Every structure is written in structure tokens, then in C-alpha cells.
Structure 1
Amino acid sequence: MPKNSPKQIPKFMKAIQLTRDSASMSPVIALREDIPVPAAAPGQLLVKVRASAIQPSDLWNARGGFPYTTYPRIPGRDFAGIIAAGPRCGEEVYGTSGFTHAFTADGFHAEYCLVPEDAVAPKPKNLSFTQAASVGVPLTTAALVLRKGFAKSSDVVFVIGAFGAVGSAVVQLARAQGCTVLTGSRDDNADVNTKVDENLEGLATLTQGRGVDLVIDTVGIPALTKAAIENLAHSGRISIIAAPGDVDLVVDMRNLYRQEKTLIGCNSLSYSVQGMAQELAAMTSKFEEGTLVPGSEDIWTKIGLEQAVDVCKGVYKEVGKFVIVMD
């Protein structure tokens, strides 16, 4: 038996479960201790979850924000753990959801999870389980948004929300590609403080009036998005991953077509769990060689499944980063 293999798989496990009786009701969030541990069929892996982050989209899912979530459902999009049954038993792996797990298949806020064989990537050896369990959604979204924005090494890339989870991942990946990166945030440490410069006039100075080639908008504030479009260079692109639910974006269509600018939407929930695993597998060596640097483990508050129920219910009003750590 491999060194990391669990000695015995229990019959039941603890998990957070969402239930809903009606589409007009918010989901009921509860800790269950009697969920049967799923059995791995051919082509599947049973993973003993060691850690699973609570991402913003997990909180939105727990509040009924995704119309395609089916119930009852175990939430949780990101995980890191050890293969407990199936091929490569004992291997340390990490993964993220795609459009299935946590929505139409059970996710990872549980002691065990069931995934297809090709839905995991080798965990970077220099990352803890906590670190590996927190990078899935931000890192894969960052890789997708840069690819859909056709980022290339000669580009000047402006990242709105550059110090957030996805934004900081975009900054790292874009710089690794050789791009010149300008940061935007409500912070004086950014190249452009978007709180005091809502029209992004600082970009003209930073680019000598040329404009930026690619904007990555991780925030979705229409006024900032509009200003970013106006500050694009000829043939510039803006790739957007966030938007408010009830506010329209109004743009100068004449400027858009005359300057041949492109607006691009990017939704990580359009991709499969297998595709996300491929993205993470490509990142494993980058973490191990130091091209990518994970956030410090200290920025995450480690909690158990019991506390995670309260986090999902919104009991903790302060902004925080929580990761569920299993015994």
C-alpha cells in the first residue's frame, strides 16, 4: 500500500449539504455526518479531501445564486487531497470544479469526493494542502481570461482588481508570459488607484498616450469597465469575468468599431472539470520551479466543516479567506 494511502475508508462521512424545496426559496445549509462515502467505479477516483477553500462563488452557490445547481448538493469548488481508491492510490492531488462539481455533481466541502480519473492534477510538492486547495478557481480563471484575451508577450496588460485572488493570479501569469503589467486597485500601491482615478486617466501617462493592449477586468464595475475600454489602444481587447446583475454597460460604439476594439466575456463555469485539471497540471511544474508563487498559508483562516456552515450562512460579516481543513 502506498505511503499516503488511507488505511481504511469509512462507510459515512461529514459534509456540508445544500437542500431546497422550492426554486423560490434559499437553500438550507447543514452539516451532515451520515453521508455515505461514494464508491469509485471504473474510471473514477475516490479522494480523501485534506483541504477545500471557500471561494466567493461557493458563497453565491450556497445562497441559491446559480440556477443550474441541483439539490441536494455538496458544495465546494476547490480541493486538495490524497487518492484513497482507484488508480494512483496514495498520490497527492488537487483540482477544481468546472461546470459540474458543486453544481450538478457533489463538490468538495466533504471528507471524501468522487471525481473522474482525469479530473485531478499532481499537487505541487512545494505547496501545502491548504495552499493547493485555494488556487484552483483563481488560477484556472486567470489562465482562461488571458487566453481568451489573446495575451502575448509584447502586450501592455492592465488588470482591474489586481490584488484580488483572480487578479493577482492574472498578474503572475501575464508577467510569466513576458507581458508588461499595470495594476489597478483601490489602493495607492497599485499603478492606478481606481478609487481616486475612476476615469483611469493615469493610463495615458503610463503608456505615453498609446493606451493598453489588453484589459483584464476582474471587478465588473460598469464605470471602470467603460473607462478601461476608452483607454484601450487600437485593436485592444478587454476580457471580463465579473458583472453586476442589474446594471447595463454603455459603450461608445463608434470608438469601438473605428479603433477595432474587442469585448470578451470569460466564464470558468463554461469548462469541464477535466479541462480545469489540465490547466492545473500545466501549473504544477511552474509552482515547483518558482515561476508561480502561491499566497502565504497565513492569509487563510483554517476552519472545520462545522464552522464552514456558519461561513456559508453569512454569520461572519467581515471579509475573510476561509479554507476547510479536514482531520
Structure 2
Amino acid sequence: MTTNSMKALQLTRVAENTPPSFAKTTIPLPSLEPGYALVKIKYASIQPSDRMNAKGGFLYTTYPRVPGRDYSGIVIDIADETGELKSWIGKSVYGTSGPTLGFSVDGTHAQYCLIPINALVEKPEPLSHIQAATVGVPFTTALLCLRRAQVTENDVVLVLGSNGAVGSAAVQMAKAMGAKQVLSAARSKNSNPDIVLAAEDIASLLKDRVSDLTNGHGVDVVIDTVGDLALMSGALKQLANGGRYAWIAAPRGGADTTISLDIFQAYRKGISLLGCNSITPSLQEMADQLRFMSNWIDQGLLKAQNETEFAKVKLDDAINGGYEKTGKVVIDME
């Protein structure tokens, strides 16, 4: 290494009751520590949780803080002299964070980042570096939902929001798990979903379409990536006996987040409600999930979104050109 500093995005806050300030800055290069690798970041995506973090949306974020959860990069150095661990140097890696990276320790929206050795995951060959930098949060979130719902080969799975990053991953993973039937549902017709969520009476639409598509059985698992109360209320009623409902989203901006539930029907049918938070698993647990998915990626059972779907911005322009916009954005560190 010939430099002792790096470019980074950094959040600072002067008081607990004020929103954080956000700026591009130059900070010291992370000092290598035992148990850690120094990774040169090639690309880092801007996830919705990153944008929320930049607005002060997470109470456990400490300041000053480099944000950023997902990344792809190259291992530059490692704080261990054993040959096995030193063999990581030069390898392409990718990953995502739980409650630490970007929140309580500096994240990936910088030229370099410290990653625990036990959280290093080699980038699968089918993924480009851009794709690898975009899949961490959506892929691990989808797997978290499916695992919590204990999907089996006997299950009919319904994915709400199947055209989104998490939803499209959940559809592919449910099929890779061998689910008996996987139904997709989205508001847009462009992805050709099994159910187009375009009706004033969404409950009646779901009732009719699910009954037709499952021969009256209903669905065993719902993966809800939308967070719409009317949609959730309607989808809950389509659960078969023993059904499981896993969701990752809710209305924001002060909107009502409560729904009514027929607890009589719920206990008679033995349904389970499973709230899923992608920030709960540790960095190492996230790495384990990515390793688990590697075989699906290598076999072509799990594909990332095409890299052309993402707008690329340089680190210098990442605040105005990425954080302050919506849509799919990846930061090019090179």
C-alpha cells in the first residue's frame, strides 16, 4: 500500500435530536487488525436501508460513520501469517452486513473496508463484480424469509412483489428449494406475474386467483415484500391450514401500520406470522447465507439482476447522484 488515506462517504451528527450530515471526505486508511482482512472495494450498491441510514433512520448507528452494506472487491491484505488465510489475498469477494457494517463500524461506501476473516465470501464466477455488489441485502433477505417460513417441497409459495429485488430472488430460491408450486404476484404486468395486483378490491382478486391457481388449496407460504396493509389483509386469508406468512416491509412516513386479524380463524388454521428483519443476523451469519446460495448461483438456479439495470456513479457523485435519488444505483470506486 502506498497511501495512508482514502476517499469515503461519511455521516456525522452533532446532537441526538438532529439528522446526520452527509459528505464525501478523506479519512485514514483502516488499520489492519487481527482477525480482519483489508478489502479494496470495487463496487458498492446503495440499498434502501443505506438511504434510510443517511437520514438517521436507525437508532443504533454511531457517528461519525461510513455507511454502506453491500460490496464486491479484492482482498488486499490480511492480519494473519498462516498460508491458508494469506491465500485470500488477491481473491474477489463480496458480502453484506447485519447490524454492524455501516451502522456501528465503518461500511463499504469507501475505497477500502475492514472485513472479518470469517465473513469473507469468494465471489461466484457467474456474477460480475457489479452484480455481486447488488445482491447481498436482497438475496439474504429472501433466504431469511424462506428459511423462517420453513419452505418444503410440499408447499405452495406465493411471493408478493415478485418483480422487486427481494421478490424476484425469493421466487428463484423457492423453486431451487423444490417447492411444489411458486406463484408470483406484482402490480406491474411487465414481469408477467401469475397474479397482477391491479384491482380496487384486492382481497377478492387474491381469493379468486389463488383459488383458481391452486385448485382451492390456498397457499402454504406467503413471502410479502410489499408492505401494503390491504394486500397483507387479503393475502392472510389465502393461507391454507398450517400456513406461514413472512414479511419484510411496512408502511412508512407515519402511515398506519396496524391491521385487524381474525384470531379465531388464525388459531383454527394454525397459521404463523413471521416478521423478518435483514439487519438482525450478524455479519458472519450473512456470510453463511451467501455461501449457502453459492451452489444455486453456480448452477444457474439463482440469477442476479442484469448489471445494466443499475445506474453507476462515482464516489464523488454518490450523494447527489445516488443517495438523493430513487432506483437502483451502484457506486463505482475505481
Band of TM-score, shorter chain? over 0.9
Amino acid at match of 2:333: M
What secondary structure sits across from 2:286 in the alignment?
helix
Aligned position for 2:82: none
Among 24, 27, 30, the residue aligned to 1:35: 27
2:186 is the alignment partner of 1:193: no
Q: Deviations over 1:232-262 (max 9, x none)?
A: 0011110011112442121111111111111
**Deviating runs (4+, > 3 A) in structure 1?**
none
Amino acid at match of 1:68: Y
Whole-angstrom CA distance in 1 between matches of 2:116 and 2:2: 19
Q: Deviations over 1:85-129 (max 9, x none)?
A: 103211110010111101101110000000110112000112111
Q: Deviations over 1:279-323 (max 9, x none)?
A: 111222322221211211101111111221114552x3xx42100
Q: Could you tell me how far 1:9 is from its partner in structure 2?
A: 4.6
Report matched runs for 1:148-227 at 5 Å: 148-179=148-179, 180-188=181-189, 189-196=192-199, 198-199=202-203, 200-201=206-207, 202-227=209-234
Whole-angstrom CA distance in 1 between matches of 2:5 and 2:294: 32
1:27–1:63 CA contact under 8 A, matched in 2: yes
Amino acid at match of 2:9: I
Percent of pairs identical after alignment? 46
Q: Could you tell me how far 1:56 is from its partner in structure 2?
A: 0.8
What secondary structure sits across from 1:270 in the alignment?
coil
Whole-angstrom CA distance in 2 between matches of 1:282 and 1:208: 33
Whole-angstrom CA distance in 1 between matches of 2:227 and 2:233: 10
Whole-angstrom CA distance in 2 between matches of 1:145 and 1:98: 15
2:322–2:329 CA contact under 8 A, matched in 1: no
Whole-angstrom CA distance in 2 between matches of 1:268 and 1:111: 25
- Runs (5+) with no aligned partner, structure 2: 79-85
Aligned position for 1:254: 264
Whole-angstrom CA distance in 2 between matches of 1:313 and 1:217: 25
Report matched runs for 1:1-327 at 5 Å: 8-32=1-25, 34-86=26-78, 87=86, 88-179=88-179, 180-188=181-189, 189-196=192-199, 198-199=202-203, 200-201=206-207, 202-245=209-252, 246-311=256-321, 313-314=323-324, 316=325, 319-327=326-334
What secondary structure sits across from 2:231 in the alignment?
helix
1:158–1:214 CA contact under 8 A, matched in 2: yes
What secondary structure sits across from 1:291 in the alignment?
coil
Q: Deviations over 1:150-182 (max 9, x none)?
A: 101111100011110000010010011111110
What secondary structure sits across from 1:269 in the alignment?
coil
Whole-angstrom CA distance in 2 between matches of 1:252 and 1:312: 43
Whole-angstrom CA distance in 1 between matches of 2:98 and 2:259: 27
Whole-angstrom CA distance in 1 between matches of 2:323 and 2:156: 41
Aligned position for 1:4: none
Q: Could you tell me how far 1:18 is from its partner in structure 2?
A: 0.5
Q: Could you tell me how far 1:62 is from its partner in structure 2?
A: 0.7
Whole-angstrom CA distance in 2 between matches of 1:194 and 1:49: 39
Whole-angstrom CA distance in 2 between matches of 1:322 and 1:103: 20
Whole-angstrom CA distance in 1 between matches of 2:295 and 2:131: 15
What secondary structure sits across from 2:173 in the alignment?
helix
TM-score (norm 2): 0.92
* Count of matched residue positions in the alignment of Structure 1 and Structure 2: 316
Q: Deviations over 1:14-40 (max 9, x none)?
A: 0000111122222111000x2101121
Whole-angstrom CA distance in 1 between matches of 2:132 and 2:323: 25
Amino acid at match of 2:220: D
- Runs (5+) with no aligned partner, structure 1: 1-7
TM-score (norm 1): 0.94
